[in-house]
Chain A
């Protein structure tokens, strides 16, 4: 009798653990899936690949959710998983790299108004940034990370991160301020 009582109790503890794990995962998905997807999109430049990477990232996150102790660190934890997933994609399909770079970014805006045109130009330009400039910018603007946090995620020195952020913005600003170059950069 005692045994069956104990069994019941441990079973219910297990299932309540599962329930709380499920809840954590649910809130993780709801709170962060948009940022993670956008980060993935700007990393790889393709909607479908971005969705795949996001799926893989969250699946891996689920499997090792127990290792996430601090909920505040959830975003950088997910981004670390995502970057690893993205790198794995290149290991699998090395030829894809140049393909993706060439047909980077799809026309999601019609560009009818001037503002849209400018935004479109900016998107194209962001996608053309070297990855080493693009990635810190994504982490700063989408992720909202500080220079120190970016340095940690990218395993770089803080000064290097700052320099890259400087160059990234500098390039984007140049493009927006010299509309005459628009045709060339679009070409």
Chain B
């Protein structure tokens, strides 16, 4: 190793442990002294660089991180909360809007008859007092009642017309059974006087307090029940 290379290495890296460099150092006492001199300088540099570190720096670093952690967790829970809240809000809005949409009673009545097939097979022989009792518990149904038995009532239960609580009755017509829905008056309900599909015929009329929807297979049955209701229902 020539002198220039040795000196450059000594300056660049006095604590170099490379065997070539160490051997080169031992070649002469002069080189050794030169290197020791540089090592001495390096010790001084090292001491000079060792400025005081603030005592509480480590504690501060930990604290800062803990706070950050805490904040991000709070932010996360805050975010989750906001998410849940907006989902709930959206659900609420959707539900409310759905409830406000106009309801086509006739379609709903037909659908309901198909859906609640067991009603047409029931034979409970319900007394009109019981029907009145159910009527009274409907919203806005306090003033509705049958004054006497409107023929035979096979079935009577509450049902839901898109959020409007109603009564679902099955009554005896002239020949076949007739389904009667009593739906308390409400603005968004749309009533058709006559409706039908391939199997059933329906008719609707309005009393003082409620919509009456009749669904049956024969028109005579519908008219028969309609007359009965007009005589017995207030």
Do B13 and A54 touch (CB < 8 A)? no
Q: Is A176 an interface residue (CB 8 A)?
A: yes
Known: A33-B53, A33-B58, A141-B49. A169 touches B64 (CB 8 A): no
- Complex interface residues of chain A between 132 and 148 (CB less than 8 A to chain B): 137-138, 140-142, 147
Range of interface residues on chain A?
35 or more
Q: Is A76 an interface residue (CB 8 A)?
A: no
CB distance from B161 to the nearest CB of A (A): 38
Known: A54-B57, A55-B60, A59-B65. A141 touches B12 (CB 8 A): no
- Complex interface residues of chain A between 82 and 125 (CB less than 8 A to chain B): 108, 118-119, 122-123
Q: Is B101 an interface residue (CB 8 A)?
A: no
Q: State in angstroms the CA–CA spacing of A33 and B53 once bound together.
A: 9
List B contacts of A59 (CB < 8 A): 64-65, 68
- Complex interface residues of chain B between 44 and 67 (CB less than 8 A to chain A): 44-54, 57-58, 60-62, 64-65
Q: State in angstroms the CA–CA spacing of A114 and B48 once bound together.
A: 14
* Residue from B44, B49, B65 in contact with A138 in the complex, judged by beta carbons closer than 8 Å: B49
Q: Is B33 an interface residue (CB 8 A)?
A: no
Range of interface residues on chain B?
20 to 34
One of A4-12, A34-42, A66-74 at the interface: A34-42
- Complex interface residues of chain A between 41 and 67 (CB less than 8 A to chain B): 41-42, 47, 51, 54-55, 58-59, 62
Known: A38-B51, A165-B12, A169-B12. A33 touches B61 (CB 8 A): yes
Q: State in angstroms the CA–CA spacing of A142 and B47 once bound together.
A: 10
List A contacts of B54 (CB < 8 A): 37, 47, 51
Count A-B pairs with CB separation below 8 Å: 91
* Residue from B44, B52, B62 in contact with A122 in the complex, judged by beta carbons closer than 8 Å: B44
Considering residues B45, B51, B69, which has the most beta carbons from chain A within 10 angstroms of its beta carbon?
B45
Nearest B residue to A57 by beta-carbon distance? B61
Mark contacts of B11-43 with chain A using CB atoms, 8 A cut-off: 1 yes-contact digit, 0 otherwise: 111100000000000000000000000100110
Q: State in angstroms the CA–CA spacing of A30 and B41 once bound together.
A: 29
Show 25 residue pairs from A and B whose CB-CB distance is below 8 angstroms, ordered by the A residue.
Answer: A29-B61, A29-B62, A29-B65, A37-B54, A38-B51, A38-B53, A41-B51, A47-B54, A51-B57, A51-B60, A55-B61, A58-B61, A58-B65, A59-B68, A62-B68, A108-B52, A119-B47, A138-B49, A141-B46, A163-B12, A166-B8, A166-B11, A169-B38, A172-B45, A176-B41
If A119-B48, A122-B45 are given as contacts, then 14 extra A-B residue pairs at C-beta distance below 8 Å, sorted by A number, are A37-B54, A38-B50, A47-B54, A59-B64, A62-B69, A108-B52, A122-B48, A123-B48, A123-B51, A126-B49, A140-B13, A166-B8, A172-B41, A173-B38
Give the 4 A-B residue pairs with the shortest CB-CB distance, closest first: A165-B12, A122-B48, A166-B11, A162-B12
